[in-house]
């Protein structure tokens, strides 16, 4: 099974950037809208206006297919992740890079206690996904 630390430092940094944006939104809104980070320096945020996971992935595929100026793209969305000890809220980041055969999906598990976000575990590998930057 792949670990987050198996990702290259640049892909780890891309995921952290997306997670930080999501954390800011969670702290202010208690939830966040799905989004895609793209652009040469991951400086473009494209919001996705749905909460349905299948629709998020459909819209993401369209947006990423048009993101020809990006070597790396991160799709971030809220979801719940079921682990051995229960079901938890997670910031899911799917990371795509033109130099990789697959995209990678990781979940950052969190809980909100007394208005503060607390991360519970290291990032959980959710699986390889089709790399939407490779056609």
What does residue 60 show for φ and ψ, rounded to 5 degrees? -60, -40
Q: Which of 64, 59, 25, 17 is nearest to 41 (CA)?
A: 17
Instruction: Evaluate whether 22 touches 92 at the Cβ level (below 8 Å).
Output: no
Please tell me the predicted confidence (pLDDT) of residue 122: 82
HSE of 123, CA atoms in CB hemisphere, 13 A:
22
Q: How far apart are CA 72 and CA 113, in angstroms?
A: 33
| Measured CA distances, 106 to 26, 68, 122, 130 (Å) | 18, 24, 10, 14
pLDDT tens per residue across all 135 residues of the chain: 788 889 999 999 999 999 999 999 888 866 789 999 998 889 899 999 988 888 998 999 888 888 777 899 999 999 999 988 889 999 999 999 999 999 999 999 998 888 788 888 789 999 999 888 875
What does residue 9 show for φ and ψ, rounded to 5 degrees? -55, -35
Q: Whole-prediction pTM value? A: 0.91
Please tell me the predicted confidence (pLDDT) of residue 64: 85
Q: How far apart are CA 117 and CA 114, in angstroms?
A: 8
Please tell me the predicted confidence (pLDDT) of residue 135: 58
């Amino acid at each position: 099974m792949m670990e987050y630390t198996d990702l290259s430092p640049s892909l780890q940094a891309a995921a952290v950037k997306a997670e930080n944006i999501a954390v800011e939104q969670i702290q202010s809104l208690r939830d966040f809208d799905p989004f895609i980070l793209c652009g040469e320096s991951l400086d473009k945020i494209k919001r996705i206006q749905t909460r349905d996971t299948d629709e998020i992935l459909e819209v993401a595929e369209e947006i990423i297919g048009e993101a020809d100026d990006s070597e790396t793209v991160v799709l971030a969305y809220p979801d719940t992740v079921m682990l051995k000890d229960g079901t938890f809220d997670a910031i899911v980041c799917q990371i795509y890079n033109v130099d990789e055969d697959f995209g990678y999906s990781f979940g950052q598990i969190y809980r909100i206690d007394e208005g503060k976000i607390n991360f519970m575990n290291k990032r959980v590998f959710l699986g390889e996904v089709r790399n939407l930057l490779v056609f």
